Structure 1
Amino acid sequence: MKFGFMPDVDLGSQVFDLAFNPKHNIVYTGLLNGHIKAFAYDDQGTCTSKFDLRPTKRSARSLVVDMEGLELYSVSKDRSIHVIDTSTGKIVREQAQAHESAINRVTRFMSMLATGDDNGVVKLWDPRQISPIRSYTHHFDFISDFLWLQDKKQLVTTSGDGTLSVIDVRSSKVEPFAHSEDQEDELLSIVSIKELIAHSEDQEDELLSIVGIKDGKKVAVGTQTGIISIWNRTSGWADCVDRLKGHPHSVDALATLSEDVIVTGSSDGLVRVVQVLPNKLLGVIADHGTFPIERLRTDRNGAWLGSASHDNVLKLTDVRDALVDSDEDDSDKGESDDSKEEGESDGNIDNDSDSGSKEGGNENEPAMEQDGETDESDSDSDSDKSETHTESDSEPEPQPEPVSSKKGKRSQPEGPSNKKGKVDSGFFDEL
């Protein structure tokens, strides 16, 4: 079975973010030294440079491409927003001092642009002139990730203050539609699973990343303590309905491979594949050594997984054979899955459940456990929470030293629409 990596591309500086063009095989990278580099790639793994520009001398923290693939949006530690023509690599619009503090995340949806900064402020913009629409101040710590819910026209945000919130962008109110309880952990990343969205209670942990799974009916959130919390959109946004533990370190980045399979990027440098509901660790597909993973993205065809870390390289992993079609499998389990969604009675998404899948795809990896707290949090979480980058205002070219993986957390997950399929176990046998 074919599986492989594109040769690593040395970028000469730490990678903060990456984004794929939705129309062409082009990937963009935002670097610590302010450079934005674009590369074209093919199915055989050949990568060639398209352009290299430096809108600012401060770090390019987050990137997003519009749906037509015509414009690339970049936000920086110097509080600026730059719009770049993807065909020429030239800056076409910019907004200096767009926030009062460094901008950490950007995403594009409908006819709007959203940005989130280190103080928890979220702003909506008209991208045509980069003119402000409204601001939200309900978070008090850095915005780590965004997830756009197309069906509800709502924007989900995760924050280092331990909560997630849901913003109805159609409303003129400057308060969120919903705000979660404190999760007692930093929320770092988010993806949609089975696909749906309000502001949660404080999760008492930094919320670092977010993705949607299970056709968007649920979302998965990565946290500082290594727990992945599962949220059911139909149950509201006050609190999560399930917690998956098994990652020894923080889950800083998330992306989806299928409706029930996600990839996780951790501060231990490993990119893992995890099945959700039922929960199972399936294997490790990429390794950045001891460097934390800053971002995970899948390209427009779901063929390549991009991962960014502090090792100064762009790593693209071929995941075309990670999934195999399983229409028969889906039909067999359809009825049981529906009953789970209704009753949540099998222990997979019950808050009070101590049961769960203990199997792992790798002997050396801990099994994915449900609804439990990790024994100890990342020892650097307190200092990382108020991260200071290694950049210096007085130095024209910052050195690519390792920085915290808490700031610069990912923008909205991109990649293919949720595909039905299962993971081919043989995919991991070849690793």
Structure 2
Amino acid sequence: MCPSKKIMENKEDDENVEDITLETNSDSSDVSMTDSESEENHESEELEEDLDEEEEDEVIKAIRRANNKKRDHPPPLLLDEDITNLSFHPHADVIAISNIVGDVSLYKYSNEENTLVGTLELHKTSCRDVEFSQDGKILFSVSTDMAIMLSDFETQKLLRFYEDAHDEAISCVSVLNENLFATGDDNGCIRLWDLRVNGTQQIYKAKKNEDYISDIITNEDEKYLLCSSGDGSLTTFDLQNRKFLMQTEEYEEELTCLGLFRHETKLLSGTSKGKLLLFNWSEFGLHSDIFPGPKTCINSLVPITENIVVTACDDGILRATHLFPHRHLGIVGQHDFPIENVDICNNGKFIASSSHKNDVQFWNIQYFEDFEKVSHKHKKHEKKKELSNNLPSSKYGNASDFFSDLVSNE
């Protein structure tokens, strides 16, 4: 390499060194500015963290508030055997629970605890239905062993035993008054019994249905006896003269349960396809209205007020429906498995429901007093939204309720 070229390269190297020095100085200036911004950012991050912690504290507080609320209903019951039915005592804080092995367990309930007060070993096979007399002194039970048992509530001793009361497994029992009670079986036969009659002979029997009798009901006048059936028909009997009156045409679904509303002027029937059929009292040939609901079997229903019914469904959900005008109010409670039975306690404060998980859950429904009057001038409603609405007794709250609670406590 020639000396002149080498000198030129050395000169270029020197210039490059100066450029590097200048760039380094320039970078140093930039670093200094970045440090200042970093401090500001750090302070901003700390402020955001403080805000996040405050928000998190509010969430934790809201959760704690929910967890620390005083229990307003009895704790759940979990039984060893499959539950077949349940019934509240009309005066005492006691619930009777029948099971698949033929026993009936009596539990005293309170918000703090449930206490087993006795187990009645009554039937050889599954005890299908259980119900108290109107004064609460007698416990009626029926079974697939075709027997009817009447037990003394106080002493838990057997008072009367109807052996081979039906020719088929008995599906339900209904106490009509202080003397009369009715039973239905899996073959569609109903029988009427009078406690004043000595012996164990029925005073009337009839077979007008081709499938199991799911429910039996009358009103205070005791003029008509209504029976719902798995064959999809509603059958009416003249209770006073003890004779058959009429039968509806068979619906395309099973009629599963019955209830009275509007001061016993309306009869409501649940169906296996989730519908509610409404009949005018004394006009039982055809329904006057039909309310569609979720497409799942309604296994049981209970009147809460003159206008509100709670249905127990196969999808494990208890739903409340306002009948006049017709509105779905929302979800009362949830089970993990299909719900078979529901009943209301003596003072109307609780309902209890049982599922295939062998559990009994209690729900405080006092808030329904505020739902009694639903304005006829309501806005257009969305059925889907109403069906998914969680009411105060539900295990789950609505998201909007939770966040409004946060806002109100900030």
Does TM, normalized by the shorter one, top 0.5?
Answer: yes
Find the counterpart in structure 1 of residue 164 from structure 2. 97
What secondary structure, in the 3-state scheme, does the structure 2 residue paired with 1:131 have? Answer: coil
Cα–Cα, structure 1 residues 130 and 21, in superposed 2: closer, same or farther, change >3 Å? farther
The CA RMSD over aligned residues, in Å, is 2.6
Match of 1:417 in 2: none
How far does residue 427 in structure 1 lie from its aligned partner after superposition?
6.2
Distance in 2 separating the partners of 1:228 and 1:91: 38
With over 3 angstroms needed to count, the CA separation of the structure-2 counterparts of 1:3 and 1:226, relative to structure 1, is farther
Rounded to whole Å, the distance in 2 between the matches of 1:426 and 1:313 is 21
What 5-or-longer segments of structure 1 have no aligned partner?
195-214, 337-355, 368-423
Find the counterpart in structure 2 of residue 61 from structure 1.
Answer: 128
The residue aligned with 2:259 is 191
Task: Indicate which of 275, 289, 297 corresponds to 1:242.
Answer: 289
1:26, distance to aligned residue in structure 2 (A): 0.8
* Paired position in structure 1 for 2:229: 159
Q: Is the 8 A contact 1:149 1:156 kept in 2?
A: no
Cα separation, 2, equivalents of 1:280 and 1:157: 27
Secondary structure of 2:387 counterpart = coil
TM-score (norm 2): 0.74
| C-alpha distance in 2 between matches for 1:323 and 1:138 | 40
Report deviation, 1:165.
1.4
TM-aligned CA distance change 1:265 to 1:357, over 3 Å:
farther
Q: Deviations over 1:109-159 (max 9, x none)?
A: 121110000000000012354431110111111000112211243221100
CA distance in 1, matches of 2:112, 2:385: 30
Check whether the contact 1:247–1:366 (CA below 8 A) recurs between aligned residues.
no
Residue identity matched to 2:324: L
User: SS at 1:182's partner residue?
Assistant: coil
- Structure 1 residue 183: Cα displacement: 1.5
Deviations 1:321-364 (A, max 9, x none): 332386xx59x97xx9xxxxxxxxxxxxxxxxxxx97434x738
Structure 2 letter corresponding to 1:286: G
| Residues 80 and 242 of structure 1, relative CA distance in 2, 3 Å threshold | same
Higher helix share: 2
Shift of residue 425 of structure 1? 6.7
Q: Which residue number corresponds to residue 322 of structure 2?
A: 275
Identity %: 27
Residues of 1 paired with 2:297 and 2:231: CA distance? Answer: 15
Aligned equivalents of 1:77 and 1:271: distance in 2?
A: 27
The letter of the residue matching 1:123 is R
| Distance change in 2, residues 1:357/1:232 (3 Å) | farther
Give the alignment of 1:283-362 within 5 angstroms. Answer: 283-289=330-336, 291-324=337-370, 329=373, 358-360=381-383
Q: 1:62: how far off?
A: 0.4
Q: Does 1:73 align with 2:119?
A: no
Alignment partners' CA distance in 2, 1:112 and 1:105: 15
| Residue 315 (structure 1) shift | 1.6
Residues 4 and 359 from structure 1, CA distance in 2 versus in 1: closer, same or farther, beyond 3 angstroms?
Answer: farther
Matches for 1:2-401 after TM superposition, within 5 Å: 4-42=72-110, 44-110=111-177, 111-128=179-196, 129-173=199-243, 176-194=244-262, 215-233=263-281, 236-289=283-336, 291-324=337-370, 329=373, 358-360=381-383, 363=385, 365=387
How many Å separate the matches in 1 of 2:194 and 2:391? Answer: 46
Give deviations 1:171-217, integer Å, cap 9, x for gaps.
Answer: 143xx2221122221100111121xxxxxxxxxxxxxxxxxxxx222
Letter matched to residue 363 of structure 1: K
C-alpha separation in 1, matches of 2:270 and 2:190: 20
Pairwise CA distance, 1:3: 7.4
In 1, the alpha carbon distance for the partners of 2:381 and 2:250 equals 28
Structure 1 pair 180/357, CA: closer, same or farther in 2 (3 Å)? Answer: farther
Deviation per residue, 1:40-84 (Å, 9 max, x gap): 123x24211111021123111001111110000000011011111
Rounded to whole Å, the distance in 2 between the matches of 1:13 and 1:318 is: 25
- Aligned equivalents of 1:283, 1:2: Cα separation in 2: 24
Post-superposition shift, 1:269? Answer: 1.0
Q: Which has the larger radius of gyration?
A: 2
Q: CA deviation at 1:257?
A: 1.0
- Aligned counterparts of 2:84 and 2:358: Cα–Cα separation in 1: 10
- 1:99 Cα deviation after fit: 0.5
Asked which structure has the greater RCO (Cα within 8 Å, sep 6+), the reply is: 1
Shift of 1:426: 6.0
Assess, with a 3 A threshold, how the Cα gap between structure 1 residues 124 and 224 changes in structure 2: closer, same or farther.
same
Per-residue deviation, residues 237-266 of structure 1 (Å, max 9, x unmatched): 111121111212111110011111100011
